[in-house]
Structure 1
Amino acid sequence: MNLTTKMLLPIIWLLCAVPAGMVQAQQSTQTNDNPSYSALADLLENEQSREKLINELRTMADNSAAQTQAVAEETSAASSSSRELAQTTRAIAEGIGEQFTVLANVVNGLVEGEVAGDDQVSMAGLMEATLNLSLVIVATLLAFMLMRRLIGPLLYAKLDGWALQGSNTPVIRRVICVVLAAVVDVVIVGLAYVGGNLVATFLVGETGEQTTQASLFLNAFMVIELLKAGLRMLFSRRYDGLRLLPINASEAAYWNRHMALLIGLLGYGVMVVEPLVSIHISAVLSQGLNTLLMLAAFVYAATVILKNRRRLAGIIRTSAEQSRLATSRISLHLLARTWHLLALGYFVVVLVLVLLSPANALPFVLFATLKTLGIIVVGLLLSTLLGQIMGRRIELSPDIRRKMPLLEARLNSYVPNALRFLRFLVLAGVILLSLNAWKILDLATWYASEAGGMLMGRIIAVAFILAVSAAIWVTLASLIEHKLNPETGTGMPSARTQTLLSLFRSALAVLLVTMTVMIALSELGIDIGPLIAGAGVLGLAIGFGAQKLVQDVITGVFIQIENAMNTGDVVTLGGITGTAEKLSIRSVGIRDLSGTYHIIPFSSVDTVSNYMREFAYHVGEYRVSYRENIDEAITHLQNAFDELVADAEQKPYVLDALEVAGVIALADSSVNIRVRIKTAPGMQWAVGRAYNRLVKMHFEQAGIEIPYPQSTVHFEGSRQGMAPALKLEQAGERHSG
């Protein structure tokens, strides 16, 4: 390679690498006598040197093609991201510097009476255009302010009062009023726009034609005022009922003022001033002015953000402390720490996009920002609406509460979890739609793809399964509760019914949870076959290792099938007698007469003695003295029974006549008579206590002796049974004598 080729190759590379916009800017400032361009033109004009250069380039390409490709493949993957970032940063910096250089040259040319390029400034035309535009601006703004002053307050005040009235769902009322107020704003802006068009068409310039300057302003006025109308929906200064965000009036006025100023600065600057400068002065100056506007807006926004960093963070923390949901508190605390970073990052992104692509970036940023704000506002409204609808306690009718007393509490226990889940869905939707608005994600393409459609289908299927399972549980549990409730019209259920329904409810809960988890995992694409097989093997291992537990369960199942006992029965199990308070599939809990609570596994139960089946007997044995008349004693026992039956409190529990078994024993000191009274199950003890009382009273009235253990002392005497008298004296008398 000769010296000429080595000198020209860097020049050719520079000509191919410099962006078109930068070359165009350089051509406006550089002179046409650059030696590099002259040398290149001379070289290409000479046929021999051109052929020689071509041959040398082809030789270089053939020799280094393989090496260049290998190096490119090794380095492209590792350095592509870094190279792109470096090139982007350099392009931004060079673009800003170039624009400031060109802007300085243009301003210098204006001061000296010249403009770079072929554009020449016509001061007369500029003054005329400025005067005509001023008339249109004054007429449009005057009409706009008059209509807002005269028409707006009347309607706004009525809408504000209606929005603040009490309602079950105040957010819906507020949204309706805010939308109506926004419609009024749009109508006023439209009327002012029409008025400005009439003035621009018939009073300014030639009749029937509208100047470009007036058209630019009117379009900008329409866009900016519509944006401000949307801003007032969030930050209404005067009307609390027409403000969507939950902030006070002073806070709303502060942010409305700064945001409106920023919108006006960028809107009128980009849509009016910049095009007018490009038309009447210089396109290069217009580009520089655009850069200045973007930088000024960024500095202004950054200043406001940093100035309010701590104050707004404190307001967000206060809202976090007032939130009742843990997720909301955590999110708000995180937002309080990072809100300024998010805001600064947003404006940095906007600035970079606008500087990289001024023609396309600003509309994209505007629409993406509006979409994001709309999505966030809708998400906040939905979250608030869900809180107002589901946050209130569910109140059922008195009749339903009477039939199903636990249903209301059960439904209210589900509400907080359902509200958290729905708010999580709203938050996820807001994040995904916001990313889609900024083209970071393409939700439509993703959903149209096979993976996206499959994932959404599975998520919807799982949500449907959970909802159906919850509905089945609520329905069946409510039906069981309805059957167990004695106030449903069917009366008090039997003890067996109560026991079986309680066990069925527990088994239903376990079965429903297991089936729901299995089906949900299957819908998510997880193979549940190994899980079922593993559960079977685990169950077999547990069965071998816990035979006692298996025996408990099997015995308990057969005890329930045979209806051996129910909750509330008085039974004897394992030598313990008491009331069965709790039955499970494995054991029974018994409370004895002294109040001790015993848990007896079914595997240790050989015999169940139940005192509460169908009927019972009070078996009484009554002793009378040998000298009493037995028939007379039996008559008094019958009289006591008749009095017992005559008692209204005891009569319902006595099921049959008195059964007298007769004399069952001639004991050492008494004659024993047995009777039996048939009673309702479980009432034998109460009836027996009442009957014993009456027997004692009747025997006393008849003078029938009820013997008790006693000893007879005999003294030695004659055959006729005469014994000498026993002399007794008190110890005190003997001592005193």
Structure 2
Amino acid sequence: MNLTTKILLPLIWLLCAIPAGLVQAQQAGQTKDNPSYAALADLLENEQSREKLINELRTMADETATQAETVAEEASAASSSSRELAQTTRAIAEGIGEQFTALAEVVNGLVDGQVASDEQFSLAGLMEATLNLSLVIVATLLVFMLMRRLIGPLLYARLDNWALHGAGNTPVIRRVICVALAAAVDVVIVGLAYVGGNLVATFLVGESGEQTTQASLFLNAFMVIELLKAGLRMLFSRRYDGLRLLPINASEAAYWNRHMALLIGLLGYGVMVAEPLISIHISAALSQGINTLLMLAAFMYAAIIILKNRRRLAGIIRTKAEQSPMATSKISLHLLARTWHVLALGYFAVVLVLVLLSPANALPFVLFATLKTLGIIVVGLLLSTLLGQTIGRRIQLSPELRRKMPLLEARLNSYVPNALRFLRFLVLAAVILLSFNAWHVLDLATWYASEAGGVLMGRIIAVAIVLAVAAAIWVTCASLIEHKLNPETGTGIPSARTQTLLSLFRSALAVLLVTMTVMIALAELGINIGPLIAGAGVLGLAIGFGAQKLVQDVITGIFIQIENAMNTGDVVTLGGITGTAEKLSIRSVGIRDLNGTYHIIPFSSVDTVSNYMRDFAYHVGEYRVSYRENIDDAIAHLQNAFEELAADEAQKPYVLEALEVAGVVALADSSVNIRVRIKTVPGMQWAVGRAYNRLVKMHFEQAGIEIPYPQSTVHFEGSRQGVAPALKLEQAGERYSG
């Protein structure tokens, strides 16, 4: 047995399931040197075990082949991009080289009097075609220029004036309307010039009633190029500031309009007129070479213009970024200022590559993709500008509505701009995605038609609706609560309990609305909120056990509100602190004491609520008179002071009943104490008491009734004859005697 057999046979045995016979053979005491060989022999003798071994080996072979194919595919995918790039570069280089070679051959043939084409070159025919085409060109351009000269001062100037200084509508909407009307006039002028050129080509050039090929080529090219220039004037109008969509000055617009119009005319007339005519009258190879030269020249011209204005245009964009009030616009414009030249060069490079690879199919694709992109960007800019003007404009409600709901205007001016900023961000995202779709980088229609795209868009729309409904509910409910709390509307000044309950309801509504909105939004996004609710329940239970004090605060606060123990504005005593309840929550109360100190007292520490503002109150006063005064006279003067108090217009509304005299309540050391009580409106007992004390003092003084103060009698010990020694007083180092 060779070495390979000795290695493979034990491995095969290890990969297979060990049969029961092998275990029995090992237990029977087979030798320790070759147990695997005996087991393998038993395995092969058994038909079922042998079949199982064969299946295992085939499975292993299939898996090995699959793994090898996977590795090969990964390696092929890793190098496919580099190969495609190399092949594309080589194809472009070879195509350019072949076209220049063919162009050189055609030029040599023309010099030698031979043309590499199926038809013989005719100089006379070329001159006649050139003359006829020149007549059509002159007639078409003459009609076009005359129409623009006549209509421009009459119509364009009026549209420009209305766009800049007109009344009504938002400025951006007014500008869009005027630009659209001017563009429509441009289209009409181009159409009239096209019709005039067709008439000249049909009846004045060549045979009457027929139109030559070269005339048709020029007229079609004229129509396409002038329509493109009309669209270009919508962005870069040179003479009329009100008919320019882009926010740039006239000199800047004239600069870019001139260069871009020159580029459009060069490519348009070169590709749509010169190339076909050269192909028809001279050589197809020459026309292809001319096409390549035109594309290279256009690319070089565009690259020079872009690099020449790189820093200047970047500075203008940065200035616009600093003037933008939104952070998103600032970031986007700063990024555009740094990369605009890269994007522009990349665009022209892509166009050049596409045209060189596929001249017949690339030009229509590039043209329509460019027009779509420009249209998307312009519409996005207009929407963004409109939203920006709306954001910057403050919402103003009518005086009546502002009187009823004074906080509604501030609330709307806080919420609406944020919503409009979000819409502006959506506009930016839509512009980017639609631009990618125009260049077939993305296929939004296919993605939206797919199950994943439809589900995602549906969820996004559902979440947006949920957020909008939640915001509308909050604004409506908060405005209604505000309306109820406003003393100028409804039934007048609401009660303290109504104010407290409505304030608590507003806070509870905010928490509930936020919680429900988040839960519904997560559910619409496809997130299972069941575990979240269960987890929140478990977490709440854990917090309840760990924060029993907080739970006690909440429960006590609920019962205090149910029992109407206090309301906002009540004067109360809680936890040894007396003051005005300024703020009540479900957990604590804020009290401002007489010194202005603000105390927050949790309800769990409240054992007793002493409210001085329920139903009615009393001013209780004890007034002292001397022992030598007549008590009945003193009580009579107390009654007179009360009658004067009750007659006072300032205090009369707060006194509810007649004076209640309790009588003499104490015979003190130096006075007789008389107690009286005045029933007042709750909360006014202190003011009424101060006014009554003033009147009592005045009446006692007029009647000569003494209000005593503590007095002491001092006796000096003397002799039996009654002679007392002199009293010596010493103060600040001086001695007095008497």
Measured against the shorter chain, the TM-score band is 0.7 to 0.9
Q: Distance in 2 between matches of 1:730 and 1:494?
A: 66
Structure 1 residue 554: deviation in Å? 1.1
The alignment status of 1:498 with 2:499, answered yes or no, reads: yes
Q: Distance in 2 between matches of 1:103 and 1:605?
A: 102
Structure 1 residue 533: deviation in Å? 1.3
In structure 2, give the amino acid aligned to 1:178: V
Q: Distance in 2 between matches of 1:724 and 1:349?
A: 133
Contact 1:200–1:211 (8 Å) recurs in 2: yes
Matches within 5 A, 1:383-402: 383-402=384-403
In structure 1, give the amino acid aligned to 2:532: L
Q: What is aligned with 2:584? A: 583
- Segment drifting more, 179-188 vs 110-119: 110-119
Contact 1:391–1:415 (8 Å) recurs in 2: no
The secondary structure found in structure 2 opposite 1:595 is coil
Q: Distance in 2 between matches of 1:328 and 1:382?
A: 13
Q: Deviations over 1:674-714 (max 9, x none)?
A: 11100011111111111111111111111222222111345
Q: Deviations over 1:649-673 (max 9, x none)?
A: 1111101111111122222322221
Q: What is aligned with 2:650? A: 649
Q: What is aligned with 1:141? A: 141
TM-score (norm 2): 0.87
Q: What is aligned with 2:406? A: 405
Are the structure 2 counterparts of residues 402 and 300 from structure 1 closer, same or farther at C-alpha, using a change threshold of 3 Å? same
Structure 1 residue 76: deviation in Å? 3.5
In structure 2, give the amino acid aligned to 1:76: S
The secondary structure found in structure 1 opposite 2:462 is helix
Matches within 5 A, 1:519-558: 519-558=520-559
Q: Distance in 2 between matches of 1:134 and 1:610?
A: 104
The secondary structure found in structure 2 opposite 1:151 is helix
Q: What is aligned with 2:33? A: none
Structure 1 residue 152: deviation in Å? 2.3
Report the aligned-residue RMSD: 2.4
Q: What is aligned with 1:12? A: none
Q: Distance in 2 between matches of 1:511 and 1:549?
A: 19
Structure 1 residue 434: deviation in Å? 0.9
The alignment status of 1:154 with 2:154, answered yes or no, reads: yes
Matches within 5 A, 1:277-316: 277-316=278-317
Structure 1 residue 151: deviation in Å? 2.0
Q: Deviations over 1:219-270 (max 9, x none)?
A: 0001101110110010000000010100000000000000000000000000
Contact 2:716–2:724 (8 Å) recurs in 1: no
Are the structure 2 counterparts of residues 471 and 723 from structure 1 closer, same or farther at C-alpha, using a change threshold of 3 Å? farther
Q: Distance in 1 between matches of 2:735 and 2:566?
A: 69
TM-score (norm 1): 0.88
Q: Distance in 2 between matches of 1:736 and 1:84?
A: 128
The alignment status of 1:369 with 2:350, answered yes or no, reads: no
The secondary structure found in structure 2 opposite 1:472 is helix
Structure 1 residue 727: deviation in Å? 7.8
Contact 2:718–2:725 (8 Å) recurs in 1: no
Contact 1:625–1:705 (8 Å) recurs in 2: yes
Contact 1:495–1:566 (8 Å) recurs in 2: yes
Gapped regions of structure 2 (runs ≥ 5): 1-65
Gapped regions of structure 1 (runs ≥ 5): 1-65
Are the structure 2 counterparts of residues 736 and 522 from structure 1 closer, same or farther at C-alpha, using a change threshold of 3 Å? closer
Q: Distance in 2 between matches of 1:728 and 1:321?
A: 92
Matches within 5 A, 1:183-262: 183-262=184-263
Q: Distance in 2 between matches of 1:595 and 1:383?
A: 51
Q: Distance in 1 between matches of 2:307 and 2:700?
A: 103
Q: Distance in 1 between matches of 2:598 and 2:154?
A: 76
- Segment drifting more, 288-297 vs 710-719: 710-719
Contact 2:663–2:675 (8 Å) recurs in 1: yes
Q: What is aligned with 2:380? A: 379
Q: What is aligned with 2:131? A: 131
Structure 1 residue 599: deviation in Å? 1.8
In structure 1, give the amino acid aligned to 2:370: T
Matches within 5 A, 1:295-374: 295-374=296-375
The alignment status of 1:434 with 2:435, answered yes or no, reads: yes
Structure 1 residue 73: deviation in Å? 4.7
Q: What is aligned with 1:106? A: 106
Q: Distance in 2 between matches of 1:736 and 1:624?
A: 36
Matches within 5 A, 1:468-479: 468-479=469-480
Are the structure 2 counterparts of residues 712 and 300 from structure 1 closer, same or farther at C-alpha, using a change threshold of 3 Å? same
Contact 1:621–1:675 (8 Å) recurs in 2: yes
Contact 1:152–1:184 (8 Å) recurs in 2: no
Are the structure 2 counterparts of residues 540 and 157 from structure 1 closer, same or farther at C-alpha, using a change threshold of 3 Å? same
Are the structure 2 counterparts of residues 71 and 572 from structure 1 closer, same or farther at C-alpha, using a change threshold of 3 Å? closer
In structure 2, give the amino acid aligned to 1:81: S
Matches within 5 A, 1:453-464: 453-464=454-465
The secondary structure found in structure 2 opposite 1:676 is strand
The secondary structure found in structure 2 opposite 1:487 is coil
Contact 2:575–2:608 (8 Å) recurs in 1: yes
The secondary structure found in structure 2 opposite 1:627 is coil
The secondary structure found in structure 2 opposite 1:486 is coil
Matches within 5 A, 1:708-719: 708-713=709-714
Contact 1:275–1:286 (8 Å) recurs in 2: yes
Q: What is aligned with 1:79? A: 79
Q: Distance in 1 between matches of 2:385 and 2:722?
A: 109
Contact 1:623–1:671 (8 Å) recurs in 2: yes
Are the structure 2 counterparts of residues 225 and 524 from structure 1 closer, same or farther at C-alpha, using a change threshold of 3 Å? same
Structure 1 residue 734: deviation in Å? 9.9
Q: Distance in 2 between matches of 1:523 and 1:358?
A: 49
Contact 1:653–1:679 (8 Å) recurs in 2: yes
Are the structure 2 counterparts of residues 612 and 70 from structure 1 closer, same or farther at C-alpha, using a change threshold of 3 Å? closer
Percent identity between matched residues is: 89
Q: What is aligned with 1:664? A: 665
Contact 1:587–1:602 (8 Å) recurs in 2: yes
Contact 1:665–1:671 (8 Å) recurs in 2: yes
Q: Distance in 2 between matches of 1:198 and 1:233?
A: 29
Q: Distance in 1 between matches of 2:622 and 2:520?
A: 66
Are the structure 2 counterparts of residues 363 and 597 from structure 1 closer, same or farther at C-alpha, using a change threshold of 3 Å? same
Q: Distance in 2 between matches of 1:76 and 1:544?
A: 62
The secondary structure found in structure 1 opposite 2:676 is strand
In structure 2, give the amino acid aligned to 1:545: G
Structure 1 residue 77: deviation in Å? 2.8
Q: What is aligned with 2:483? A: 482
Contact 1:715–1:723 (8 Å) recurs in 2: no
Q: Deviations over 1:529-549 (max 9, x none)?
A: 111111111111111111111
Q: What is aligned with 2:706? A: 705
Contact 2:117–2:282 (8 Å) recurs in 1: no
Q: Distance in 1 between matches of 2:689 and 2:726?
A: 47
Are the structure 2 counterparts of residues 70 and 451 from structure 1 closer, same or farther at C-alpha, using a change threshold of 3 Å? closer
Contact 2:726–2:737 (8 Å) recurs in 1: no
Q: Distance in 1 between matches of 2:115 and 2:640?
A: 136
Contact 1:278–1:285 (8 Å) recurs in 2: yes
The secondary structure found in structure 2 opposite 1:565 is coil
Q: Deviations over 1:395-453 (max 9, x none)?
A: 11111111111111111111331121010111111111111111111111111111111
Contact 2:729–2:737 (8 Å) recurs in 1: no
The secondary structure found in structure 1 opposite 2:589 is strand
Structure 1 residue 166: deviation in Å? 4.6
Q: What is aligned with 2:32? A: none
The secondary structure found in structure 2 opposite 1:164 is helix
Are the structure 2 counterparts of residues 637 and 567 from structure 1 closer, same or farther at C-alpha, using a change threshold of 3 Å? same
The alignment status of 1:450 with 2:451, answered yes or no, reads: yes
Q: Distance in 1 between matches of 2:259 and 2:737?
A: 121
The secondary structure found in structure 1 opposite 2:573 is strand
Contact 2:99–2:289 (8 Å) recurs in 1: yes
In structure 1, give the amino acid aligned to 2:138: V
Are the structure 2 counterparts of residues 100 and 670 from structure 1 closer, same or farther at C-alpha, using a change threshold of 3 Å? same
Q: Deviations over 1:359-387 (max 9, x none)?
A: 01001100110010011001000111112
The alignment status of 1:560 with 2:553, answered yes or no, reads: no
Q: Distance in 2 between matches of 1:723 and 1:595?
A: 61
Structure 1 residue 78: deviation in Å? 3.0
The secondary structure found in structure 2 opposite 1:672 is strand
In structure 1, give the amino acid aligned to 2:82: S
Q: Distance in 1 between matches of 2:715 and 2:152?
A: 125
Q: Deviations over 1:60-79 (max 9, x none)?
A: xxxxxx9x999975653333
Contact 1:480–1:501 (8 Å) recurs in 2: yes
The secondary structure found in structure 2 opposite 1:660 is strand
Are the structure 2 counterparts of residues 734 and 149 from structure 1 closer, same or farther at C-alpha, using a change threshold of 3 Å? closer
